[in-house]
Amino acid sequence: MFLHIDIDCFFISAERTINKNLLNCPAAVGSRSNLEIFSQQRRNIKLLNINSGAFVTPVFHSDFKKNFNNYFLDKNKIRGIITTASYEARAYGVKTAMPIAKALSLCPNLIVVPSNMSLYHKLSKKLFILLKKEIPQIEQYSIDEFFGIIDGWIENKDVEKFINYLKNKIYKELKLPVSIGAAKSKYIAKLATNKAKPFGVYIVNNQEEFIKDIPISNFPGIGKSFSKKLNQYGIKKLSDICNSKKLLYSWKLPGIELYNRVCAKNNGIIKKKEPKKSIGLSRTFDAIYEYNEIQRRVVIMGRHIAYMVHKAKVNPLRFDLKIYYNDGTKIKNGIQSNRIFNEHLFKESLVILLKNSWIENRGIIKIRVWVSNFSIKGNKTLSLLNHNEDLKQKQIDDAVSKLRNSFGLDILKNGNEI
């Protein structure tokens, strides 16, 4: 039997653990693209644990105290989107990814608080530790979702009692409301959680009956394009998939996997955390036309990625930069390296990539930088020509990283970052 544990309205539920004024009222967490790393003021910016598994993308935070006025108001204009809304707010039509200004027009008494990633990371990690003590096999699926398997641990007749106990224990110890779905299939357990919300439990005893009227778009892994393809064959509900084995199998691997997952021919497994295959950052902002400012931002992003690489103890051999222009143009350029990674080398490479991606008189609205193709440090395939120079730079990086661990990533900057 698989369990799917989902924290209800996680970000706002997390905020309610420290702010009782948000209880039982329309409330939401909002966010903006984190441009704080580009600030020319000195701030104590630190990285949340890159290897925790709670976040898919790296999260940087600082001691800057955010509130509605200094975070969402920009020249008297409300910026940002809703990240999570409470059930009370959803009753007014407030939704995730909705502009905050629109949300306030729908619900004038809505309380919107800035995101606090450090708090969410901390609570997600605490919940993972709690679950590990209660269930032998746990997988962190996202920051607010977990899978567990209880076969051989909890007898079928005791499943309902156990998951109610688990739900109540989590709320008692962490003040987080969770909903729990249970089924023989991992994928159906995730669907069952939708039936359990909010703050409830749901056990699927008869899977065939359970999936009969569920739209295919509700199933995890079926996106818009796949839904459109299925609809062309009259497949609109999950039960239609189970009645279309021959068709789905004719689509080879994607169709076979979908059929087996929906119809419980493949019940799934609890996955172990896989090592990262790339490390990167992206930032979106209002259009910028000045080359020097874009170069400054690219180099700053390079500094942050270099710090993450050092923390992850990997040696990337591939550097990539993607530039998004305000006319829809996207330009991607990359460099293959054969050297020991260091911050100086990486920043120099990014400047070269930017020059190759630059278009005069066009505004840039987004930058994405990432590294990949990890190799073992000191591998013999790395450049012998630059070996001594790279080792010296690595020693510098080690010393700088120690300072940044203690005083934040802004403690040391290049001249062209200011």
Residue with tokens 């020693």: 395
DSSP string, 2-23: EEEEEETTHHHHHHHTT-GGGT
Check if the beta carbon of residue 278 is closer than 8 Å to that of residue 372. Answer: yes
| Start-to-end CA span in the chain (Å) | 56
**Is the bond leading into 215 cis (omega within 30 degrees of zero)?**
no
Classify residue 234 as left (phi > 0), alpha (psi -120 to 50) or beta.
left
Q: Which ranges of 135-232 does DSSP label H, i.e. alpha helix?
A: 159-174, 186-196, 207-211, 224-231
Cβ burial, residue 412 (10 Å; 0-12/13-18/19+): middle
**What is the distance between the alpha carbons of residues 252 and 70, in angstroms, rounded to a whole number?**
53
Q: Which residue has the tokens 């940002």?
A: 80
Q: At what angle do helices 343-357 and 291-312 cross, to 10 degrees?
A: 140
Q: Looking at 36, 134, 145, 389, which residue is catalytic?
A: 145
Q: Which residues have CB under 8 Å from 344's CB, separation 6+?
A: 393, 396
Phi, psi of 4 (to 5 degrees): -120, 120
- Cα dihedral 289, 291, 293, 298, rounded to 10, equals 120
CB 20 within 8 A of CB 5: no
**145 is known as an active-site residue:** yes
Name the 3-class secondary structure at 374: strand
Cβ-contact 408, 43 below 8 angstroms = yes
The answer to whether the beta carbons of residues 258 and 238 sit under 8 Å apart is no
The CA distance from 73 to 322, in Å, is: 29
Catalytic residues: 145
